């Protein structure tokens, strides 16, 4: 693994189903983030984690949950998917001890909820 | 509320110079970022400004005026591969990034 990976690449899901999007990084970054990107809108933060064992809510957390059991993994779960959750989901990580703390992004998961 | 404004779309000619503006109103300021995003791909980091002035990095430069809530990204010697969306983001008082909707840059030969 080099950098940050996400799985699956894309998924079509029936409304009401449960879905977990996976995210793994090998850069030993302390912070991780989940965003959704919709046409015409900026990236919107769903949940974040500043360090393993802690999580926080972003701008649009409803319908989503996360966990951060270790440094490398940060899964995002949709408990009961709805069509409005159709979007491209990006996971990102950063080193909060660095000067700029820039975020590095995974390749994204394209999710369609029908 | 918090707001990041940037033009939706710009067109420029290969070999020319283009300036993409970004204005912001946020609760606190802890730095401004520019990212590049090619269609269907992830955003990639271009630049970071936390103090007023110009930061130059090869063909790309980024400027910040904190008093005016204003930044621009300057791209010189445009190449066809520069066709992409350019995202402006501000780190607010909660140390989270607030993102603009992005500027789609179209380069014509």
Confidence band for B7, pLDDT divided at 50, 70 and 90: very high
CB contact under 8 A, A104 and B45: yes
Give residue B75's pLDDT: 98
Give residue A46's pLDDT: 98
CA closest to B42 among chain A residues? A107
Tokens of B59: 């063909």
Tens digit of pLDDT for each residue in B40-87? 999 999 999 999 999 999 999 999 999 999 999 999 999 999 999 999
A74 burial (CB, 10 Å; 0-12 / 13-18 / 19+) is buried
Tens digit of pLDDT for each residue in A81-101? 999 999 999 999 999 888 788
Cβ B19 vs Cβ B74: under 8 Å:
yes
Chain A contact probe: residue of B88, B97, B99, B103 with most A CBs at under 10 A: B97
Strands A10-13, A64-66: pairing kind: unpaired
Q: How far is CA A61 from the centre of its chain?
A: 11
Partners of B91 on chain A (C-beta within 8 Å) are: 101
User: Distance between CA atoms of B99 and B87, rounded to whole angstroms?
Assistant: 7
pLDDT under 70: residue ranges of chain A:
1
């Amino acid at each position: 693994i080099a950098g940050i990976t996400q799985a699956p690449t894309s998924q079509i899901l029936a409304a009401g189903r449960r879905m977990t999007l996976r995210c793994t990084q090998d850069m030993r970054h302390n912070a991780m983030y989940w965003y959704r990107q919709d046409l015409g809108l900026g990236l919107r933060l769903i949940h974040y984690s500043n360090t393993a064992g802690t999580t926080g809510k972003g701008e649009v957390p409803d319908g989503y949950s996360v966990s951060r059991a270790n440094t490398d993994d940060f899964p995002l779960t949709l408990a009961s998917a709805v069509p409005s959750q159709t979007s491209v989901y990006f996971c990102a990580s950063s080193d909060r001890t660095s000067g700029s703390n820039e975020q590095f992004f995974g390749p994204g998961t394209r999710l369609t909820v029908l | 509320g918090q707001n990041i404004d940037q033009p939706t779309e710009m067109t420029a000619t290969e070999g020319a110079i283009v300036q993409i503006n970004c204005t912001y109103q946020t609760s606190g300021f802890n730095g401004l970022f520019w990212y590049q995003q090619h269609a269907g791909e992830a955003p990639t980091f271009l630049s970071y400004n936390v103090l007023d002035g110009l930061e130059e990095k090869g063909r790309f430069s980024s400027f910040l005026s904190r008093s005016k809530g204003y930044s621009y990204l300057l791209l010189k010697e445009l190449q066809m591969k520069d066709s992409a969306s350019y995202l402006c983001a501000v780190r607010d008082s909660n140390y989270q990034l607030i993102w603009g909707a992005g500027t789609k840059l179209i380069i014509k030969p």
